[in-house]
Chain A
Amino acid sequence: MKQTYRVLAGLIALGVLVQAGSVAYGWFDAISAVDAGTVIDGNYEGNAGHMLHGMIGMMVMPLLGLILLILSFVAAKSIPQARKWAGIVFGLIVLQVALAFAAFSAPIIGALHGINALVLFGAAARAGALTRAAGAGGHGAPAGAVPSQRTGTSATGSSLPA
């Protein structure tokens, strides 16, 4: 269960990287197309980078976030604060989509879309790290290498956020 939680959180963090890469590629390719004489206006359909960004952002990421959230209820016993961080991650994904759509009317909101992506990356990474804290007891051993139980030392609690 912890493995799955960690993998999902990791996929979401990875997804943020793919999203950043795909949209940057999309617009650099568009700029290059403009230099080659392509007209970019309301008729422009976008390129592979835009398409990938749209599909991952609208479908894959919300789905991953939702699965993580559902899983967190099951994993709550073995991973402290699993629900809280899954909730934060899912909330940030929803916010990210909402910011994107708002930015079509008010492009300046697009700046928040970019910033929120970094926040989401951090939150997803933090969620993934929860399993290590829970599993390894803070000894630095690979997560999942030791049985998941609280050792009663201060290590588990100390790494949790306030």
Chain B
Amino acid sequence: MGLGLAGWYWSASLVPSTYSVMDMGHMDYGGGPTHAHGAGRSVAELTGPASGEPDVAVELAARQESVELAGGERIEGYTLNGTSPGPAIEARQGDLVQVTLTNVDVPDGVTLHWHGVDVPNAEDGVAGVTQDAVQPGEDHVYRFLAEDAGTYWYHSHQVSHVQVRGGLFGTLVVRPPRVPDEQDVVAAVHTYDGRRTIGGRTGVSQVDAEAGEPVRVRVVNTDNSPLRAWVSGSPFRVVAVDGTDVTGPAELREEGVVVTAGGRVDLLVTAPARIDTGGGSALVVGPEGSEVPARPAPDRQVDLLEYGSPVALPFDPASADRRFGYEIGRRIGLLDGKPGFWWTVNGRLYPDIPMFHVEEGDVVRMTITNDSGDVHPMHLHGHHAVVLSRDGVPASGSQWWVDSLNVEDGESYEIAFVADNPGIWMDHCHHLDHARDGLIAHLAYAGVTEPFRIGGAAHNEPE
């Protein structure tokens, strides 16, 4: 009898070998009207512009191989066009971007997710949710308009906890039409096999810049845990967060800045300056040969909740159509038959996770609460959300728009967004090992159907 119950409990936790994300977990309408689930347009139809000459056309060939980093170290990982990080893609605001991804020999298959870019759903690059994983010898074309200027990155969303860690990523910068006053540098921070790098280079890298000139350093955290960056030799300003400009950014001297996993922060410094990103990695911008002594890592970090000057929001979060709770916890239990101490979403274990349902045009509020004992960088696909409050303290600075939000243990954030991008979207922790262990949820629009499946013939395994 007892054994039977234990067996039932165990088998109830098993995840089927193939399933649709639409069939898992429980429906959450956030207090708004319910609607039919799983009828209407297919995710596969929600593409970017099908016709038109691309302004930026890039071909990326993915391989699983031994990678020689810029500093000469070798690791076993992944490359795009023979390098890791992959090519830095640059576009102008309004450009039609076309990327052809070819999987040369990655046995698990690959995809490309445009992290932070609010692309149409079918271009989002999530295996089993918005496309099938691209198998060896196959290719897949992504086409989207680069509508918003800013700092973004792209990475595989198939077996991502292995592939991103192994280097299957690159940066994407969309520049505004105006001619910038400042020099522009991208600093993609990644830890390969315990070696912290900037642009694939360990230690201190140098970029030439004229003394006294402003330089925009676009710090991209491609790792699993929050990054603490700090500047020596120059005061600085945080001029953009997750691709959105900060209004009225004050000059900072003492503080450091936290860049959550998957997040981006643009720092405006005056050359010569040194930007440290921990683990001995740093970037010096200044005249050739300039040496900027590093100051110790600051104890204080700039609080984006009150940084910059406030501006009215483009929508009214007070008249929200739906309110969702996203409570992250942790408990002992079985995940796919495996005993362990697993993450929970709203008290339940994967695959019993929420499917947040919205209708196009809804104003949505979401409260993310973390009582799990660990920090979680929460990443919502396809949308940018604005932070309303943290632990009940209202945001008082510039509009703080995020696609990746650092939620520390014990913290509670309220965010809001407009549901303006129909599709089925992931809303998950960007510590990709946590996502693999089930710290995910989905956002589903009324009238959208899901043709793709987790598992199945394409062996889709997004996390």
Hey, which bits of chain A sit against chain B, CB under 8 A? Answer: 33, 37-45, 58-59, 62, 97, 101, 104-105
CA distance A33 to B191 in the complex (A): 14
Binds A, one of B175-183, B223-231, B344-352, B388-396: B223-231
Asked if B40 is at the interface (CB within 8 A of a chain A CB), the reply is no
- Nearest neighbor of B197 in chain A, beta-carbon distance: A39
Asked if B279 and A42 make an inter-chain contact with CB atoms under 8 angstroms apart, the answer reads no
Asked if B409 and A105 make an inter-chain contact with CB atoms under 8 angstroms apart, the answer reads yes
Residues in chain B near residue A38, CB distance under 8 A: 194-195
Residues in chain B near residue A45, CB distance under 8 A: 433
- Nearest neighbor of A102 in chain B, beta-carbon distance: B373
Asked if B340 and A39 make an inter-chain contact with CB atoms under 8 angstroms apart, the answer reads no
Asked if B30 is at the interface (CB within 8 A of a chain A CB), the reply is no
Interchain residue pairs with CB less than 8 A apart (5)? A41-B279, A43-B194, A43-B224, A101-B373, A105-B373
Known contacts A41-B225, A42-B431, A62-B339: does B194 contact A33 (CB below 8 Å)? Answer: yes
Asked if A37 and B339 make an inter-chain contact with CB atoms under 8 angstroms apart, the answer reads no
Contact with A along B424-437 (1 / 0, CB 8 A): 00000001010000
Asked if B298 is at the interface (CB within 8 A of a chain A CB), the reply is no
Asked if B107 is at the interface (CB within 8 A of a chain A CB), the reply is no
- Nearest neighbor of B2 in chain A, beta-carbon distance: A70
Contact partner, A58, options B224, B279, B339, B373, Cβ 8 Å: B339
Asked if A39 and B191 make an inter-chain contact with CB atoms under 8 angstroms apart, the answer reads yes
Question: Number of B interface residues, CB 8 Å?
Answer: 25
Asked if B280 is at the interface (CB within 8 A of a chain A CB), the reply is yes
Going nearest first, the 10 A-B pairs with the smallest beta carbon separation are A42-B225, A39-B279, A38-B194, A105-B373, A104-B373, A39-B196, A43-B191, A43-B223, A43-B224, A101-B341
CA distance A45 to B196 in the complex (A): 14
CA distance A26 to B165 in the complex (A): 22
- Nearest neighbor of A33 in chain B, beta-carbon distance: B194
CA distance A58 to B342 in the complex (A): 12
CB B159 to nearest CB in A, in angstroms, measures: 15
CA distance A43 to B194 in the complex (A): 8
Asked if B340 and A58 make an inter-chain contact with CB atoms under 8 angstroms apart, the answer reads yes
Hey, which bits of chain B sit against chain A, CB under 8 A? Answer: 165, 191, 194-196, 202, 223-226, 261, 278-280, 330, 332, 339-341, 373-375, 409, 431, 433
Residues in chain A near residue B332, CB distance under 8 A: 97, 101
Residues in chain B near residue A37, CB distance under 8 A: 194-195, 202, 280
Contact partner, B194, options A40, A58, A97, A104, Cβ 8 Å: A40
Known contacts A39-B278, A101-B330, A104-B374: does B341 contact A44 (CB below 8 Å)? Answer: no
CA distance A58 to B341 in the complex (A): 9
CA distance A15 to B224 in the complex (A): 32
Q: What 14 new A-B contacts, CB under 8 Å, besides A42-B261, A43-B225?
A: A37-B280, A38-B194, A39-B194, A41-B225, A42-B375, A43-B165, A43-B191, A43-B223, A44-B194, A45-B433, A58-B339, A58-B340, A97-B332, A105-B409
CA distance A45 to B192 in the complex (A): 12
- Nearest neighbor of A106 in chain B, beta-carbon distance: B373
CA distance A105 to B194 in the complex (A): 24
Contact partner, A41, options B278, B280, B341, Cβ 8 Å: B278
CA distance A43 to B430 in the complex (A): 12
CA distance A101 to B332 in the complex (A): 9
Asked if B339 and A59 make an inter-chain contact with CB atoms under 8 angstroms apart, the answer reads yes
- Nearest neighbor of B281 in chain A, beta-carbon distance: A39
Asked if A39 and B195 make an inter-chain contact with CB atoms under 8 angstroms apart, the answer reads yes
Residues in chain A near residue B224, CB distance under 8 A: 42-43
Residues in chain B near residue A43, CB distance under 8 A: 165, 191, 194, 223-225
- Nearest neighbor of B202 in chain A, beta-carbon distance: A37
CA distance A105 to B191 in the complex (A): 25
CA distance A59 to B332 in the complex (A): 12
Residues in chain A near residue B202, CB distance under 8 A: 37
CA distance A101 to B225 in the complex (A): 19
Residues in chain B near residue A105, CB distance under 8 A: 373, 409
Residues in chain A near residue B279, CB distance under 8 A: 39, 41
CB B299 to nearest CB in A, in angstroms, measures: 17
CA distance A97 to B194 in the complex (A): 28
CA distance A128 to B332 in the complex (A): 29
Residues in chain A near residue B196, CB distance under 8 A: 39
Residues in chain B near residue A62, CB distance under 8 A: 339
- Nearest neighbor of A105 in chain B, beta-carbon distance: B373
- Nearest neighbor of A54 in chain B, beta-carbon distance: B340
Contact partner, A42, options B226, B340, B373, Cβ 8 Å: B226
CA distance A38 to B223 in the complex (A): 15
- Nearest neighbor of B227 in chain A, beta-carbon distance: A41
Residues in chain B near residue A58, CB distance under 8 A: 339-341
